[in-house]
Amino acid sequence: MKGSTVFAAELPWPDYHATVKDGRTPILIPVGSMEQHGHHMPLHVDVLLPTEFARRVAVEIGALVAPPVTYGYKSHQKSGGGNHLPGTTSLDGATMVAVLKDVVKEFARHGVRKLCLVNGHFENSWFITEGIDLALRELRWDGIADLKVVVLSYWDFVDREAIARLYPDGFPGWEVEHGGVLETSLMLALHPDLVQLDRAVDHPPATFPPYDVYPVRPERTPPSGTLSSPKAATVEKGHILLEVCTRGIVAALRAEFG
């Protein structure tokens, strides 16, 4: 690979073409969102985190990182606070699917045959799956049947041992971790200049009924926009997360891509 960058968009096209045309170099696509993350963090947390995990993994496995998808599917009240909150800027499901389908097909056209979508926004999950499914179907119509796509969310690689170290007083559950200890700790480790921990709102984990109501009832979301307290976040916890998630993703992609 010519040049020292792992970011595909930083390469001149001849260097990019030489790297991907034979299908052996994996491409990692971060998929995020523009979504509020409380009073203490910026709106692009869900872009910054998967992009950094993709970069770290790319260095380890000889991959390239594509430009991130910076808008995501609508924030769900019980996992992201809700799409009604200021700053959250979302795509309709059909738009999200169409964008991802086109991007997957384009990389296949370039010659890429190993693709990984690194998700940083929980609500994207099913729309990523649909975009890939439609892309693979249309690629088969064009005679391309050897593209392999891996989809993963970095938090799924946090094992029980790490959870015990991160939450010594008890784990509130992933469903209320929006803007909480996990994301805040990672941001403290990676982008401390973008975190204002003194503005973080300390409150008990949010509780919701076991059903959804539409239009959403804004009063069910904590006023801060976070679903659990970020006050216990630390740089040290961020480094634990970076290590365990990067290690897990690297192992998964080596297993899948060889």
Catalytic site positions: 35, 37, 46, 121, 123, 178, 183
Q: How far apart are CA 90 and CA 56, in angstroms?
A: 27
- Residue 201 is given by DSSP the state P
**In 10 A of CB 156, how many CB atoms?**
13
Q: How far apart are CA 93 and CA 137, in angstroms?
A: 19
Which residues make beta-bridge pairs with 114? 148
Contact between 63 and 151 (Cβ < 8 Å): no
Q: How far apart are CA 217 and CA 220, in angstroms?
A: 6
What does DSSP say about strands 64-65 and 72-73: parallel, antiparallel, or unpaired? Answer: unpaired
181-190 and 45-61 helices, crossing angle to 10°: 60
Q: By C-alpha distance, which of 225, 223, 241 is closest to 179?
A: 225
Which three-class secondary structure state does DSSP give residue 207?
Answer: coil
- Residue 69 is given by DSSP the state B
